[in-house]
Amino acid sequence: MSSVPDCDKDSKYLHAATVLTFLVGSSEIVLSIISAGEAVARLLSVPVTKAYCSACAFYIATSQIKNFLEVSIRTTNSPLSLFGAWGDMIDNIKDSNMYSLSFGLVSIAIMLVSKYFSPRFPIELVVVILGIMLCWGLHYEDEMSVVGEFYGLPDFAIPKIDVFAAELFPHSIVVTLITYIISISIVKNFSMKHNYPVKGNSHLFALGVANVFGSFFQCYPASGSLSRSVALEAAGARTNVSSLFTALLLLLTLLCLTSLFRDLPKSILASIIFVALKNMFLRVRIGFDLVISKKQYYDAVVWWITFVATLLVGMQYGVLIGMGSSILSLFIQLRSHNALDRTLRGLWKEICMLLLFLFLPNS
C-alpha cells in the first residue's frame, strides 16, 4: 500500500507540488483565453450538477467522521472506497471518543435550533468560541483531538519549473480539467439556486491566477470546495464581498490569531460541516421528483447515473460519467426530433478545442 509522502523529510515532494500548481494555473489561464471554460460549462447540464453535488455531500460528510468520532477510516479517493469507509465506521464506532462525540452532538443541536428560529444569526462563530472556552477551561485538550498549533503564512519561494515541469506537464493537464469540471459544477449548482449567471471563462481565469500566485507560496492546486461553499452559504453569504472579508479574516488569523484556535475541538468543525450539508442531503429527492412529479425521464436517467456513478467510482470520475450520459441523452432527444445534425455543428467547435488542448501537447 502506498503511503503519503512526508514533505518535511523530503522537500522534493513539496517542490514538485508547487510546480504542479504553477502548471495547472498556467493551463487554466490558457484555457480561459481560448474560451474552453464556457465550453465545459455548457456541457454540464442541470441534472449532472445537482446530482454530482448531492453525491459529493456523502463524501464530505464521510471525511469528517474521523474528526467527529475520532475513529480510523480509510480514505475515499478510490472506487467503492466510500462504502468501505462506512464499514470502517461501523466496525470502529465502539472505540469512539465520548468527549469529541459529546461536543459534536451538542454543537449540532445548538446550530439546528438556532437556524430554525434565526437562520441569519452567526451561530457557527458562537459555537466555535464556546468550544474553545470549554475545552481550555476544563482542560479537555488532552482528552480529545483539537486543532493544536499551526503556523502562519508560508514563505515565498520560486517554483523549480526547470526541474519538474517536463515530467509533470502531462499530469497537470489532467488535473486542470478535473479540478475545473468539479469547481464549475459547484458554481453552477449555487447559481441555479440563487439565480445569477455563470461565466465559465472568468471563473477559469480566476482559478488560474490564484494557482499561479499560490505556487510562489508553496500552495497545492486550488479548486472549488463544496464543504466550504455550503458552510459560507449557511452563514448568509450571497455576494463576492463575502469572499473578500473571508480572505481578510483568514489572513488576519494566520498572522495574529493562530494561538486562539489551538484548543478548538475538531469535532466542532465537523459538526459545522454536517449542519451545512443538511440541505445537500435533502436535495436527493430531486432524483425522485424528476420521475414522479415532473415526468422528465431523460433528466431523471442522467441524474441517477451521475449520482450512482459518483458514489461508486469517486468524485473525480463520477462527474465525467455524468457529462457523458448527459451528452448521450441530448443526442438521443435531438435525433428523435430530427435536430441532431444542426446541433452537432454548433457543438463540434467547442468539443474540438478541448480535445486539441488535451492531446496535442502529448503528441
Tell me the pLDDT of the chain averaged across its residues: 82
Assigned domain for 168 exists? yes
Tell the residue number behind the cell numbers 431523460, with chain if given: 298
Assigned domain for 325 exists? no
Assigned domain for 142 exists? yes
Assigned domain for 89 exists? yes
pLDDT digits (tens, 9 = 90+) for 243-299: 788 888 888 887 877 788 888 899 999 999 998 888 888 888 888 888 887 778 888
The dihedral region occupied by 236, where left means phi > 0, alpha psi between -120 and 50, and beta the remainder, is: left
Confidence check: pLDDT of 323 > 50 = yes
pLDDT digits (tens, 9 = 90+) for 179-225: 888 888 888 878 877 777 778 788 889 899 999 998 898 888 887 77
Assigned domain for 7 exists? no
How many domains does the chain contain in total?
1
Q: How far apart are CA 25 and CA 19, in angstroms?
A: 10
- Grid coordinates belonging to 7: 514533505
Assigned domain for 245 exists? yes
Tell the residue number behind the cell numbers 452537432, with chain if given: 344
pLDDT digits (tens, 9 = 90+) for 325-357: 888 887 777 676 665 555 556 566 666 666 666
Assigned domain for 160 exists? yes
Determine which helix (DSSP H) or strand (DSSP E) holds 103, and give its type and residue range.
helix 98-117
For residue 270, give the nearest of 78, 53, 73 by alpha carbon. Answer: 73
Assigned domain for 186 exists? yes
Domain with 225, as residue range(s), is 12-281
Global confidence as pTM:
0.76
- Grid coordinates belonging to 116: 430554525
Q: What are the beta bridge partners of residue 146?
A: 265
49 exposure class (CB count in 10 Å sphere: 0-12, 13-18, 19+): buried
Residues in contact with 265: Cβ distance below 8 Å, sequence separation at least 6, in sequence order: 99, 100, 103, 104, 131, 135, 140, 144, 145, 146
3-class secondary structure, 265: strand
